[in-house]
Amino acid sequence: MMTASKHVTIMSGNEAIARGALEGGIGFCASYPGTPSTEIAATLQRIAEEHDIYVEWSVNEKVALEAAAGASWAGVPALCSIKSLGLNVASDFLLNLNLSGTGKGGLVIVVCDDPRGHSSSNEQDSRFYAKAAQIPLLEPSTYQEAKDIIPYALKISQDYELPVLIRSTTRLSHSRGLVTMGEIPKRTWKAEPLVENLFNVPTPHLKHRDLLKKMDKISEVFEESLWNTLPSEKKIDVLIISSGISRRYSEDAINLLDAENIGVLNLVTTYPLPNKIVSAAISKAKQVLFSEEIDPFIEEEVRSLAVELGNIPEFHGKRNGTIPAFGEMTTDLMREAIANLRGIKFGKTKQVESDLLIPRPLTFCAGCTHRNFYWAVRKVRKRTKDKLVVAGDIGCYSLGVFYDRAMTTMQAMGSGIGVATGLGQLEQFGFDSKVIAVAGDSTFFHACIPGLINAKHKGANLTFVILDNETTAMTGFQTHPGSVHQESRLNRVKIENVVKAIEPDFFARCDATDIPKLVDLLHSTINKEGLKVLLLDSICRLEVARRELATEGVSFRIDKDLCKGDRCLICVQEFACPAISWDKVIGHPVILDQLCVQCGACVAVCPHDAIKEERTS
């Protein structure tokens, strides 16, 4: 957070949400890191001590939501901030909690969706969880609203004893603008004994009935809410109904086209839909255009509401293809949609010769030991004549899918070992590939333990490789149970001990910087029968740099007499470390000292012994 003046500050949407949590009087925050939601809990964690609040990185999102519910039940206002896929993990509990209620404390869930899947394995619209669980949904559309919505959401949650879902998307969470701060209130709550009946049996259907009654009341509150912005224009030909950051794209497009008679109805209280506000607005318009991310969520609610109206306007959105029903919303999409509806022409940008824009592919950092592991996978795959599948998982190491297809499958947290458990049972049907499952350390704790136990119990034939760099590297080095560096009060849980307690048929540890040893160990292990687990002691070079432990006094160079130049290219093209570059002029690869982290992995990769370590002063 940057200080512009005492009360006005530049904040990202996520920082604004964290500030809102303080101003709302939240005392408990539980989260699991995931882009684009991480900075909410990370910000609160940095200031936890100063503000006497409790903040934890839980082992996964389901545990985070359960922990937050526990706090709320005991009267402590709670926040649970997670990414889209995280809400999938927590949804089992959420669809019980909605019926049980959240008690007196209040519970706000913030879910950050990632349209286009910039940093996600899928693209999903998490607003449907509000409808599935029949809980209120709020979508802030500005940085200021991102802050102010949290105290409001908490109040709704406390009043109706329901979890309230707040939904942000990447561009709101990760962009920054000015926010006027409010006061942080004096604490009025303290932990109290739990209320009764915190379960749904034996009559969950009656709990459901009561939930629907609560939602009817909240619907009335939303009708009167000042959060929704009504169009100010007198004459409206096109009404844009927007939510979230899409509001800004709509306003931007109208400004660029200098278009007239276009009004914007911006909805923040998007579920339950404020029917009266929407009915009044659409009854005056000839055409309605929807501007929302990702699915036609509001569009479908409005379309079904319109069935009850006499005068139905023309609807344009994701349902009729005016706006694509996938990917991010942009000003450009809105500009095109409005221009088409209004018959406005606008200039297109010039094109560049396509061969110039060569890509910068996603790759492992220089010195990342994940590259070493996948290098070993590729070597072993050759030795097995391609009879090898690698069921992958979520983390930096997911980039294995781009590294000569060294990873075969990659879906949800923990699904690598689960998928492998199935593949490891298929020998009787003629499946003859060796099966490897891969997961990182944080992912291991998050969702791999049930899969691993299933593999042991069912006798699946597979090799589970844990790439243990001892931090949650992908999202910014959050501490997890296995991290070496634990903050005070936290107890370390060692992966090796957990794995050994499950008693795999074979277990080994290996230094992931030693490529020749890694190749041989992987090869010999996959040829053993039963459940094998390899724990690779790995290194995140960014974490090392962060802790300022980088190697000094060593550099690497390529011996031009030994290097075979463009007849080989193994180090440049196949190993593909960003710190090794092809120099066309001299006809040999060169090591880029400003990118090289002196890990020395390439020394073992070169079949001609041309990469040499040198001592520098």
Partner 1 sequence: MRDPFNILVAGVGGQGNLVCGRVLAEASVRSGLRPVVGDTFGASRRGGSVLTHLRIGKIDWAPLIPRGEADIILGLEPLEALRAASKFAGDRTVVIVSQTKIPTVATNGETTEYPSLERIIESLNKLCKQVIVLDAEETLTHSGSMKMLNSFILGTMGALTQNPLSLNIIREALESIFGPDSNNILAFDEGARLRQ
Contacting positions for partner 1 (CB under 8 A): 2, 4, 8, 10, 118-119, 142-143, 171-172, 174-178, 245, 248-249, 251-253, 256, 330-332, 335, 347-353, 355-363, 365-366, 396, 398-399, 402-404, 474, 542, 569, 572-574, 576-578, 581-582, 584, 592, 594-595
CB of 170 to partner 1, least distance (A): 9
Q: What angle do CA 140, 183, 159 make, to 5 degrees?
A: 60
- Of residues 361 and 430, the one with the C-beta less far from partner 1: 361
Q: Which residue has the tokens 């200039």?
A: 347
- Of residues 85 and 172, the one with the C-beta less far from partner 1: 172
Q: Is residue 608 exposed (0-12), middle (13-18) or buried (19+ Cβ within 10 Å)?
A: middle
Q: Which residue has the tokens 């964290």?
A: 18
Instruction: Give the CA distances from residue 53 to residues 42, 76, 384, in Å, rounded to whole numbers and listed in that order.
Output: 13, 10, 54
Residues 6+ apart with CB under 8 A from 228: 222, 265, 266, 267, 268, 269, 274, 277
- Of residues 118 and 387, the one with the C-beta less far from partner 1: 118
Do residues 277 and 228 touch, judged by C-beta distance below 8 A?
yes
Q: Which residue has the tokens 């699915």?
A: 295
Rounded to an integer, what distance in angstroms lies between the CA atom of residue 309 and that of residue 281? 12
- Of residues 349 and 617, the one with the C-beta less far from partner 1: 349
Q: What is the largest CA-CA distance in the chain?
A: 85
Rounded to an integer, what distance in angstroms lies between the CA atom of residue 598 and that of residue 246? 46
Supply 582's token pair. Answer: 């092809």
CB of 494 to partner 1, least distance (A): 26
Residues 6+ apart with CB under 8 A from 508: 521, 525, 533, 534, 535
Rounded to an integer, what distance in angstroms lies between the CA atom of residue 9 and that of residue 19? 11
- Of residues 172 and 281, the one with the C-beta less far from partner 1: 172
CB of 332 to partner 1, least distance (A): 5
CB of 613 to partner 1, least distance (A): 22
CB of 371 to partner 1, least distance (A): 11
Instruction: Give the CA distances from residue 28 to residues 410, 490, 491, in Å, rounded to whole numbers and listed in that order.
Output: 33, 17, 20
CB of 262 to partner 1, least distance (A): 16
- Of residues 4 and 230, the one with the C-beta less far from partner 1: 4
CB of 330 to partner 1, least distance (A): 7
143-160 helix and 13-24 helix, angle to the nearest 10 degrees: 40
CB of 370 to partner 1, least distance (A): 12
- Of residues 61 and 328, the one with the C-beta less far from partner 1: 328
Rounded to an integer, what distance in angstroms lies between the CA atom of residue 55 and that of residue 49? 9
CB of 576 to partner 1, least distance (A): 5
Q: What is the per-residue DSSP string for 475-534?
A: TT-B--TT-SS--TT-----HHHHHHHH--SEEEEEETT-HHHHHHHHHHHHTS-SEEEE
- Of residues 222 and 403, the one with the C-beta less far from partner 1: 403
Supply 15's token pair. Answer: 């920082």
Do residues 505 and 530 touch, judged by C-beta distance below 8 A?
yes
Rounded to an integer, what distance in angstroms lies between the CA atom of residue 177 and that of residue 9? 8
Supply 320's token pair. Answer: 């009729």
First vs last C-alpha separation in the chain:
40
CB of 45 to partner 1, least distance (A): 21
Do residues 287 and 314 touch, judged by C-beta distance below 8 A?
yes
Q: Which residues pair with 554 in a beta bridge?
A: 615
- Of residues 116 and 383, the one with the C-beta less far from partner 1: 116
- Of residues 98 and 415, the one with the C-beta less far from partner 1: 415
CB of 184 to partner 1, least distance (A): 23
Pairing of strands 164-169, 107-113: parallel
Residues 6+ apart with CB under 8 A from 520: none
- Of residues 133 and 542, the one with the C-beta less far from partner 1: 542
- Of residues 180 and 304, the one with the C-beta less far from partner 1: 180
Rounded to an integer, what distance in angstroms lies between the CA atom of residue 161 and that of residue 109? 13
- Of residues 104 and 171, the one with the C-beta less far from partner 1: 171
- Of residues 534 and 591, the one with the C-beta less far from partner 1: 591
Rounded to an integer, what distance in angstroms lies between the CA atom of residue 15 and that of residue 150? 12
CB of 190 to partner 1, least distance (A): 39
CB of 604 to partner 1, least distance (A): 19
Instruction: Give the CA distances from residue 580 to residues 376, 563, 572, 596, in Å, rounded to whole numbers and listed in that order.
Output: 19, 13, 6, 8
CB of 513 to partner 1, least distance (A): 19
